[in-house]
Amino acid sequence: MAMTYRMRMNRLCPSLVLTFLGSQALLPNARASEFSGVATLTTEYIYRGLRMSNGDPAIQLGLDYEHDSGLFAGVWASTIDIQSAMGERDTELIYYAGFLYAAELPITATITLLRYSYPGQTGMHRYDYNEVLIGATWLERYSIEFGYTRDLYGLDRIGRHWELRSEWPVANTWVIGVALGGNDMSDAGVSHYLHWDVGASARFSRLTFDLRWYDNEQTDGFAAQLSANSQLVLSISAAF
């Protein structure tokens, strides 16, 4: 289940999807504690409708641990390419920890605390910040997520995010999915905008291939230069 969480993050972030843990609605005492990891090569890193690698491919690596109590923690890293007047960033590192609740009903819920950091960034401004994510998944197909931060990109500004996602298995290998989200960075001078994606994934043993179309409403402020604006992304992930 932790692996599914990171793979979904790869689609939105793109493996910080963030969407949710819980590919199976299991009771906490039915799960086994485990370590897992994923390495991804993607043609573009898109996160909440924004291009994080400036049109270039990105390399990503995630490591995750989930305890049978429902507690989990991990770290995820990606190459990025963001330049601004306040400095440049070429690496994103995300630490996270949280709790997964799996009830007897086909519903799972998570709460996750994330720390976004940018080692090696240039300039005087520090972009590091924390975020809280709350999510739920129903029948392993329908997900909802809410995110909140009080210090978006280290600007001492509030940021909010929500997302709805649905996925459907096709045969034994393919999964098709759609998502709609909203990103509210108005406190930092960026108007609220919608973003969405549609695509398909195929898994063969430890390899997963994902082809996804991303689009979004027009952005403004500092996000305008990062807007994804109708882009097809191919990602290849290897689980270990």
- For 139: left if phi > 0, alpha if psi spans -120 to 50, otherwise beta; the answer is left
* Total Cβ atoms within 10 A of residue 73: 16
Q: What is the pLDDT of residue 54?
A: 92
The shares of helix, strand and coil residues in the chain, as percent rounded to the nearest 5, are: 10, 60, 30
pLDDT digits (tens, 9 = 90+) for 23-52: 333 333 445 679 999 999 999 999 999 999
Res 102: pLDDT: 86
Domain 2-239 CATH (choose: 1.20.1260.10, 2.40.160.40, 2.60.40.420, 3.40.50.11740): 2.40.160.40
Pseudo-torsion of CA 134, 139, 141, 143, nearest 10°? -20
Tokens 């197909």 correspond to 141
Token pair for 221: 């402020």
pLDDT above 50 for 13: no
pLDDT 10s digits, 97-118: 999 998 777 999 999 999 999 9
Q: Among positive and negative, which fits the CA dihedral 35, 4, 10, 48?
A: negative
DSSP for 189-204, written as a single string = TEEEEEEEEEEEEEEE
Q: What is the tens place of the pLDDT at every residue in 60-101? A: 999 999 999 999 999 999 999 998 878 899 999 999 999 999
Read off the pTM. 0.86
Question: At residue 4, does pLDDT exceed 90?
Answer: no
